[in-house]
Amino acid sequence: MYNQGGSIQLKSNQHLYKYGFQPFFELQHREGFQAGRVALEHKHMYRIYCEDGEWLGELSGKSRYEAHHREDYPAVGDWVWITKQPGEQRVVIHGVMMRKSKFSRKAAGSSIEEQIVATNIDRVFLVMALNRDFNIRRLERYLLLAYESGASPEIVLTKMDLCDDVAARQSEVETVAFGVPVYVVNSLADAGVASILQTLVQGETIALLGSSGAGKSTLLNSLYGEERQKTGAARDGDDRGKHTTTHRELVVLPGGALIIDTPGMRELQLWEGSESMGEAFQDIDSLAASCRFADCGHNQEPGCAIQLALSAGDLDSERWSSFLKLQKELAYIERKADAGAARAEKDRWKKIHKQMREGGNR
């Protein structure tokens, strides 16, 4: 596996590299299985990229039986262990490899359940239009979950032709996205897209994330060089593009980078993010470290750097309110998740005891 200099010697087929196969996945090699990457999922059927092209895949009975949660099933971007069926263009999926990164949100509805949006991504392009779709508070949510995913966030501001003051909008974004690359584009005219193309690297995976109508599919078409995804014209009255992407799909660009296009998100409920609050809100984290008391509640305590910054106008009150709202939301999800896990464990032991009693009565 390693040469004398200590560098990793990949032994798998070279053709997998173009699909993003990296040493992280090579080290998870299982004897008797081949590797493939999930490009598309549809009702528990999967399109799999293999070293010799595209195959149709489905889970083995054992894998399906052992899958208890959504994260146990393959998602777009996952590397999986497969066996090919002789005489067919089909494979059986025997398991999901450990994920390098994962962008998740809470699934819609009242139940606490994870919805995986994309996995094994190197970069996240947070796409937001410079028309009425522009929402700095929503961008804070995206940044928080992007940091939590383990991938590097970058921001793409689209539809610059529909904005009267692009510089002001970009400056507003930079006040909440510290050190994050920001691109401004008009994908329909290919304006600004070259600055993105020159950063793309063969074999790396990028997820396009944003609200419905933000221009993700148009951006993908521009990066691809032709109409790869269908797009809709902006609606009258609200400047929002018609949402056209209905599924997640992994696409290989002509230059060798991989893009996961995703449907627009009308709502983005947090799933995780407490570990990344300090990265997403670096300004607030830095101020809190300057408070006189280590356990400062940032209310009426003397020497509170947060309150001093708010009074002086150095900290925007809406950003502080957003920070508090996200903290409360994360705390609520954590409490609900812990309660749900406790109930599930209790039900599991009830079933075990019932089976033991039934076995003893035979």
Tell me the pLDDT tens digit for each residue of 54-112.
999 999 888 888 887 778 889 999 999 999 988 888 999 999 999 999 887 665 555 55
- Structural domains in the chain, CATH included, are 14-96 (2.40.50.140), 102-261 (3.40.50.300), 281-342 (1.10.40.50)
Greater confidence (105 vs 122) lies with: 122
In angstroms, the CA 71 to CA 272 distance is 14
Radius of gyration of the CA atoms of the chain, in A: 23
Return the pLDDT at 43: 78
- What pLDDT does 6 receive? 38
- Which residue type sits at 276? S
Angle between the 136-149 and 166-174 helix axes, to the nearest 10 degrees?
Answer: 50
Q: Note the pLDDT of residue 121.
A: 95
Cβ neighbours around 74 below 10 Å, total: 26
Residue that wins the pLDDT comparison between 106 and 49: 49
95 is in an annotated binding site: no
Average pLDDT, the chain: 81
Q: Is 291 annotated as a binding residue?
A: yes
More confidently predicted of 42 and 264: 42
- Residue 258 host element (H or E): strand 258-261
**Segment of 220-234, 254-268, 330-344 carrying the highest mean pLDDT:** 254-268
Q: Is 52 exposed, middle or buried (0-12, 13-18, 19+ CB in 10 A)?
A: exposed
Residues ≥6 apart with Cβ < 8 Å to 269: 105, 106, 108, 329
State the average pLDDT over residues 331-355. Answer: 56
Q: How many other CB atoms sit within 10 Å of the CB of residue 346?
A: 9
Paired tokens of 163: 């904005």
Higher-confidence position of 28 and 4: 28
Please give the backbone phi and psi of residue 59, each rounded to the nearest 5 degrees, phi first.
Answer: -70, 145
Q: Alpha-carbon distance 294 to 264, whole Å?
A: 41
pLDDT digits (tens, 9 = 90+) for 166-207: 999 999 999 999 889 999 999 887 788 999 999 999 999 999
303 has binding-site annotation: no
- Furthest-apart CA atoms within the chain: distance in Å: 79
**Annotated binding residue at 296?**
yes
Of residues 108 and 51, more confidently modeled? 51
**pLDDT interval class at 330 (50, 70, 90):** confident
* Residue 265 is assigned to a ligand binding site: no
**Do the annotations mark residue 211 as ligand-binding?**
yes
Q: Is residue 346 a known part of a binding site?
A: no
The answer on pLDDT for 312 being more than 50 is yes
Q: Is 159 annotated as a binding residue?
A: yes
User: Is 232 annotated among the ligand-binding residues?
Assistant: no
Q: How far is CA 337 from CA 145, 172, 269, 328, in A?
A: 17, 35, 14, 14
Q: Is 20 annotated as a binding residue?
A: no
160 labeled binding residue: yes
Q: Is 215 annotated as a binding residue?
A: yes
Specify the range with the lowest mean pLDDT, choosing from 24-38, 188-202, 224-238: 224-238
The answer to whether the annotation marks 102 as part of a ligand binding site is: no
Say how far apart CA 187 and CA 296 lie, in whole Å: 47
Question: Is 298 assigned to a binding site?
Answer: yes
- Please indicate if the annotation marks 217 as binding a ligand: yes
Give the DSSP H or E segment for 64. helix 61-66
Strands (E) located in 85-179: 90-96, 102-106, 114-119, 123-129, 152-158
CA angle centred on 202, ends 200 and 204, rounded to 5°: 75
